[in-house]
Structure 1
Amino acid sequence: MQRRHALSLLVLPLLALPLLAACAGGEDADRRIGGYAVGFGDRIHAAALRAPWEFGDLSRWRGQPGRAAPAVADLEILTDGLARDPYWSPETPPDVVVLLGQARAAVRARLGISGGASPAVVVAALTQAAEMLESGRALLAAPALERPGFGLPGLGTLERLSTLPALRETEAAANAAAAEIGRRAGGDG
């Protein structure tokens, strides 16, 4: 009997590995929003907490497209997630969703991205471009931005990422998203 007990102590952790991989964002990670992984630590929650700094004032990333791209990706994640994610959307006030939608529309217009572009495609393109830029492979960043829904050549999108202005729409949306996450964390409402 002790032998079986000892064997189960060895086997049970092995059975838990796929669950841990999913939580860490492995290939089997939970995919709730348009095809991008949520994984360990909800990306919507994290993006909302970062929102005022990341995309509240996009002009802070002037000359840094590798930093502007993830900020715009956070805006995409929040806009799509708070409107459609089954966990977040039922309790998200409509005014927060509207503010995020207006901010996304303003930023997409500045970057030449179609209003109908898939959020998953936009997030993937921006994330890949940022990774290329931040890892010293800048020549691969422009091709990463040549996806369906992107109306400019990759270099044009990179240039616009480098020169994004402060937009009242992004400031209002970032503050509203962060306040909503704070409200939920505090148990208000």
Structure 2
Amino acid sequence: MQRRHALALLALPLLAACAGGQGTDYRIGGYEVGFGDRIHSAALRAPWEFGDLSRWQGQPGRAALAVADLEILTDGLARDPYWSPETPPDVVALLGRARAAVRARLGIEQGAPPALVVAALLQAADALETGRASLAPRALEQPGFRQDGPGTLGLLASLPRLPETSTAANAAAAEIARRAGGTD
């Protein structure tokens, strides 16, 4: 009986991969870290992905993914019904300041809807990572993006290290670790 359960558990990741769907944390090039929902995964990746945005110099697709993670995390920890009630206000504030700093650098309006920003960034990253680079600029020509597509790509490729993102990334990862450990 235990062997059957073990085999069933081994099959779960394969079934989940085949199912796809809205709950999937889609990543370019098969890069997925974490488990559960997109907010949890983004928090686990935060120190690496957007803690130091200068890491992605010359890699606008990777920078777009990092900024998308920041957007997902900022919006999710502030508004998601599961995450927001227990997220400390200081973590939400740090993420808000980090998002504001990145949006200012990229020429994205502060009031642009996070879902629109995330969709544009993921579409551009997908185009860059799948050999369709000519489609990437058009993906970034959305309401709320003040630069043209090539201009935004250039900014993504040259993001500096920002102290706001480093602080926010570490705070978000620590908050998820705190919850996982069940400590307050």
| TM-score of Structure 1 vs Structure 2, range by shorter chain | 0.7 to 0.9
Report the counterpart of residue 153 of structure 2 in structure 1.
158
Q: Which protein has the larger Cα radius of gyration, Structure 1 or Structure 2?
A: 1
Kept after mapping to 1: 8 A contact 2:56/2:159: yes
| Equivalent residue in structure 1 for 2:73, among 70, 78, 101 | 78
Matches within 5 A, 1:14-25: 24-25=19-20
Q: Scaled by the length of structure 2, what TM-score is found?
A: 0.83
Kept after mapping to 1: 8 A contact 2:140/2:149: yes
Tell me the distance in 1 between the aligned counterparts of 2:45 and 2:60: 17
- Distance apart, 1:135 and its partner CA: 0.6
Matched, 1:96 2:70: no
- Distance apart, 1:156 and its partner CA: 0.3
- Go from structure 1 to structure 2 and tell me whether the alpha carbon gap of 1:41 and 1:24 turns closer, same or farther (over 3 Å shift): farther
Which secondary structure does the structure 2 equivalent of 1:77 belong to?
helix
The count of aligned residue pairs is 159
- Distance apart, 1:41 and its partner CA: 2.4
- Distance apart, 1:25 and its partner CA: 4.4
CA deviations 1:4-43 (Å, max 9, x no partner) are xxxxxxxxxxxxxxxx88x9442xx369xxxxxxxx8200
Tell me the distance in 2 between the aligned counterparts of 1:113 and 1:144: 14
- Go from structure 1 to structure 2 and tell me whether the alpha carbon gap of 1:74 and 1:24 turns closer, same or farther (over 3 Å shift): farther
Q: Scaled by the length of structure 1, what TM-score is found?
A: 0.81
Tell me the distance in 2 between the aligned counterparts of 1:162 and 1:129: 12
Kept after mapping to 1: 8 A contact 2:137/2:149: yes
Tell me the distance in 2 between the aligned counterparts of 1:95 and 1:25: 34
Which secondary structure does the structure 2 equivalent of 1:140 belong to?
helix
Matched, 1:171 2:172: no
Which secondary structure does the structure 1 equivalent of 2:85 belong to?
helix
Report the counterpart of residue 117 of structure 1 in structure 2.
112
Tell me the distance in 1 between the aligned counterparts of 2:72 and 2:82: 14
Structure 2 portions without partners, runs of 5+ = 1-14, 25-34
Report the counterpart of residue 53 of structure 2 in structure 1.
58
- Go from structure 1 to structure 2 and tell me whether the alpha carbon gap of 1:48 and 1:147 turns closer, same or farther (over 3 Å shift): same
Report the counterpart of residue 30 of structure 2 in structure 1.
none
Let me know the Cα RMSD of the aligned residues.
1.7
4+ aligned runs moved over 3 Å, structure 1:
none
Kept after mapping to 1: 8 A contact 2:23/2:37: no
Tell me the distance in 1 between the aligned counterparts of 2:117 and 2:102: 12
Letter in structure 2 aligned against 1:47: A
Letter in structure 2 aligned against 1:136: G
Matched, 1:43 2:42: no
